[in-house]
Structure 1
Amino acid sequence: MYEKLTAPAKGSKITVAEGRLVVPDDPIIPFIEGDGTGPDIWRASQRVFDAAIEKAFGGKKKVVWFEVYAGEKSLKVYGENVWLPDDTLTAIKEYIVAIKGPLTTPVGGGIRSLNVTLRQVLDLYACVRPVRWFEGVPAPVKDPGKLNVVIFRENTEDVYSGIEWKSGSAEAARLIEFVKGMGKNIRHDSGVGIKPISKYGSERIVRKAIQYAIDRGLTMVTIVHKGNIMKFTEGAFREWGYELAAREFSDKVVSEKDLWDKFEGKLPAGKILLNDRIADAMFQQLLLRPDEYQVIVTPNLNGDYLSDACAAQVGGLGLAPGGNISDAYAVFEATHGTAPKYADKDVINPGSVILSGVMMFEYLGWDPVAKLIVKGLEGAIGKKRVTYDLERQMPGATKLKTSEFATEIIANM
């Protein structure tokens, strides 16, 4: 089945039945250590995960970790230019849920981005990015605690679909000529790309965002788009979102128009408000009125910008988790880069992978584990015992190594 991997002798597979995960007490979970600082981060994170599982379940449940390869480590195992081996994709498909550290993007030809390739091959259409502030973390805004949002970013379409051609190429010239025949002029020396946004892709990401709000008792979902300019792509994303909500969630969702036309601006109890905002205005809204938003759903590029901008408001990507999710498969990941100059120095903040683990355990239905990890992280930050990136901004803080920070999180569970 595998070329170079050996599946764990112990542990059980996560399965899917009637659209829901069936999680055994000893799930096998593939992990990709990551490049650069990835090994330091993973060692710390796994210790935190295992300690939280033990404390939550007293030995009745455990994760069987299964290392699979991508990025630079894959080259050592599989050979030159094998950045993402079939073994890894096969393992994630077999075991359903995986977690990964940061990966290098290869320079030059071949795979455009390992992260993008994983998302497209596994059809991980929802990039889910929760953004919240942890008390005590230095932040550039006056009241970072007002921001607590979950961003659902469509992961497979828009400009990230990778349909583009270089300036001067034969393909670019053909496309420019074709568009000219449709009455539109593009400068001859342009690089050109295609921005596909489908009804199918739009509806399923909006569906997932609304269902998330329902499952967690939230009261607002906001569609973010640039439909005032890109009317037939991002404008269509907005329209398809509203149509989907009216068709499938009419008993749960109230549009902003109906809120005022039918309910005098007062949201009925138990309902979710579905509204929309233009992307550039939304950046202002999240700075000036962040506590008015809960769940955000958006096409790919908008979501990329918004998620990192929101993370900056609450202290940066060091504590920003992410998950890439389909209707079953899920890969949780660090949202920051590999920071190779800090590799093997045991100094980097492992918070992004640790909090991505929180998302993973919530996805598995192991909420007690997720809550213990958050408690431990809050405790470590509250005592100002943190890694260098936070310590240098926190008066009176104690600087810890990556491994020591993990120990401190465990001690505060």
Structure 2
Amino acid sequence: MSYDKIDVPEDGTKITLKAGTEDELEVPDDPIIPIIYGDGVGTDVGPAAQQVLEAAAEATGREINWMRLFAGESARERYDENLPEDTVQAIKDHRVAIKGPLTTPVGAGFRSLNVALRKKLDLYANVRPTYYMDGVPSPVSEPEQMDMITFRENTEDVYAGIEWEAGTDEVEQVKTFVEDEMGADDVIHDGPVGIGVKPITEFGSKRLIRRAIDYALEHDRDSVTLVHKGNIMKFTEGQFRDWGYEVAEEEYGDEVITEDTLWEERDGEQPDDAVVVNDRIADNMLQQILTRTDQYDVVATMNLNGDYMSDACGAQIGGLGIAPGANFGDGRMLAEPVHGSAPKYEGQDKVNPTAIILSGRMMFEYMGWTDAADLVRNAVEETISQGLVTYDLERNLEDAEKLATSEFAEAVVDNIETLS
């Protein structure tokens, strides 16, 4: 294969699908893995993650052959566009990739490149695990109670980008239609107005919820909670909830029971081999992840709710600097940290690379490299427990040593070598 301005490694083997399957990978011991450093601090944390992931692969008898891709600022320099087709096609071709943060202007300019990549690649599940690691300072008294994984629908909701700008002919047409044709003449105030549409489909909802339930069953989790604001948005978020219960009740037999069944028929006694599906209103859920943290396990929700909630969860275990994430489709994934590009720190070798390193851990898990994935987590946790941390954690710890981004990566690599 060839691309316009991408250098494909001479060595290494492409990850493919297993014959006769649509989502099972055939992963060689020397895969070619695309990487996008990203904007802002991505130029610091991307190379740091490479170093750590390479070390974990080598320690378990494998080798990564990196293929550098470009998006955002780096793409504008090479291609004079933000998201070149080269980049999208290379990820499609190689199936597993990792990226740093990409900058999105607020209120003007181009739409989110992160969202664009997810939509172009149909990476419909944004998965964000939130778990505590020893030694990390936290604003809550019992951060170890947090062990949740959020499945956030990635392609719909307000992130679909269907909106019209105030003052345009298009928004006036939409306003007239909504008021005159749909009978909502008492809803929109006079004067300039921006209007957006929030699509929630049965197809998008069910495949996301199905993936969350499958994960809970495969990883021996107790529950899947559908988080929504269906008491207000009855025909979008309320429908998400209803479609979720349809999936649970119609597709899984005795493997899945609803919370109503749990209490009405079993007096709250959960079977050992079943997952309980329940639902919570979004604003109440934001409270309960603080007050009843250990009662929640796997969460399935829509795009905007998932963004808010996963960030709130991340705050409880030490902040977004250590919060990993990844986007999954059928037979394809793109790992990425939860945090943004923080351009004011670009090139300072300062910020915490843990989030993208642990996103790489998720990538390893998806590839079936569980031994390498465990080694990455254990080495990161050991490094932090030794008090070897970047500035964001050092300022809240006593007797810690403040390291640069690159120095922290080197310390993690040292611990990989010690633990392997």
TM-score calculated relative to the size of structure 1? 0.97
| Per-residue deviation, residues 241-276 of structure 1 (Å, max 9, x unmatched) | 010111211231010111112211111120000000
Equivalent positions of 1:163-242 (< 5 A) are: 163-180=162-179, 181-185=181-185, 186-188=188-190, 189-242=192-245
Partner of 1:346: 349
- Cα offset for 1:110? 6.0
- Cα offset for 1:109? 6.3
Compare 285-294 and 324-333 and name the one that shifted more: 324-333
Q: Secondary structure at the match of 1:152?
A: strand
Partner of 1:11: 12
Cα distance in structure 2, aligned partners of 1:6 and 1:375: 33
Partner of 1:157: 156
Cα distance in structure 2, aligned partners of 1:325 and 1:119: 9
Alpha carbons of 1:89 and 1:110: their partners in 2 closer, same or farther (altered >3 Å)? farther
- Cα offset for 1:306? 0.1
Amino acid at match of 1:184: A
Cα distance in structure 2, aligned partners of 1:329 and 1:15: 10
Partner of 1:78: 79
Cα distance in structure 2, aligned partners of 1:56 and 1:375: 14
Q: Secondary structure at the match of 2:336?
A: strand
Partner of 1:45: 49
The percentage of counterpart residues that share the same residue type is: 52
Compare 358-367 and 248-257 and name the one that shifted more: 248-257
2:389 and 2:403 in contact (8 A); partners too: yes
Partner of 1:96: 95
2:321 and 2:352 in contact (8 A); partners too: yes
- Cα offset for 1:108? 7.6
- Cα offset for 1:341? 2.1
Amino acid at match of 2:397: M
Q: Secondary structure at the match of 1:178?
A: helix
Cα distance in structure 1, aligned partners of 2:369 and 2:45: 22
- Cα offset for 1:146? 0.6
| Per-residue deviation, residues 9-52 of structure 1 (Å, max 9, x unmatched) | 11111112313111111111100011111121112111111111
1:126 and 1:326 in contact (8 A); partners too: yes
1:111 and 1:117 in contact (8 A); partners too: no
Cα distance in structure 2, aligned partners of 1:26 and 1:289: 44
| Per-residue deviation, residues 304-354 of structure 1 (Å, max 9, x unmatched) | 100101101111100000101111221101211212222222111101100
Cα distance in structure 2, aligned partners of 1:157 and 1:39: 30
Q: Secondary structure at the match of 1:334?
A: coil
Amino acid at match of 2:189: R
Confirm or deny that 1:36 pairs with 2:35.
no
Cα distance in structure 2, aligned partners of 1:401 and 1:301: 33
Match of 1:364 among 360, 363, 367: 367
1:220 and 1:295 in contact (8 A); partners too: yes
Amino acid at match of 2:382: G
Partner of 1:285: 288
Amino acid at match of 2:32: I
Match of 1:329 among 311, 329, 332: 332
Cα distance in structure 1, aligned partners of 2:337 and 2:278: 30
Compare 171-180 and 227-236 and name the one that shifted more: 171-180
Q: Secondary structure at the match of 1:2?
A: coil
Cα distance in structure 1, aligned partners of 2:108 and 2:26: 40
TM-score calculated relative to the size of structure 2? 0.95
Cα distance in structure 1, aligned partners of 2:106 and 2:276: 44
Cα distance in structure 2, aligned partners of 1:6 and 1:401: 30
Q: Secondary structure at the match of 1:235?
A: helix
Amino acid at match of 1:240: W
- Cα offset for 1:65? 0.5
Partner of 1:26: 30
Cα distance in structure 1, aligned partners of 2:270 and 2:217: 15
2:46 and 2:100 in contact (8 A); partners too: yes
Q: Unaligned regions of 5+ residues in structure 1, if any?
A: none
Q: Unaligned regions of 5+ residues in structure 2, if any?
A: none
2:379 and 2:412 in contact (8 A); partners too: yes
2:7 and 2:68 in contact (8 A); partners too: no
| Per-residue deviation, residues 174-210 of structure 1 (Å, max 9, x unmatched) | 1111111221122242210000000000000000000
Cα distance in structure 2, aligned partners of 1:271 and 1:386: 40
Q: Secondary structure at the match of 1:242?
A: helix
Amino acid at match of 2:4: E
Partner of 1:317: 320
1:100 and 1:331 in contact (8 A); partners too: yes
Q: Secondary structure at the match of 1:30?
A: strand
Partner of 1:136: 135
| Per-residue deviation, residues 257-308 of structure 1 (Å, max 9, x unmatched) | 1111221111112000000000011011100010001100001111010010
Partner of 2:308: 305
Q: Secondary structure at the match of 2:87?
A: helix
1:164 and 1:192 in contact (8 A); partners too: yes
Cα distance in structure 2, aligned partners of 1:374 and 1:6: 31
> Alignment RMSD, CA only?
1.2
Cα distance in structure 2, aligned partners of 1:251 and 1:366: 31
1:150 and 1:294 in contact (8 A); partners too: yes
- Cα offset for 1:356? 0.2
Cα distance in structure 2, aligned partners of 1:393 and 1:406: 20
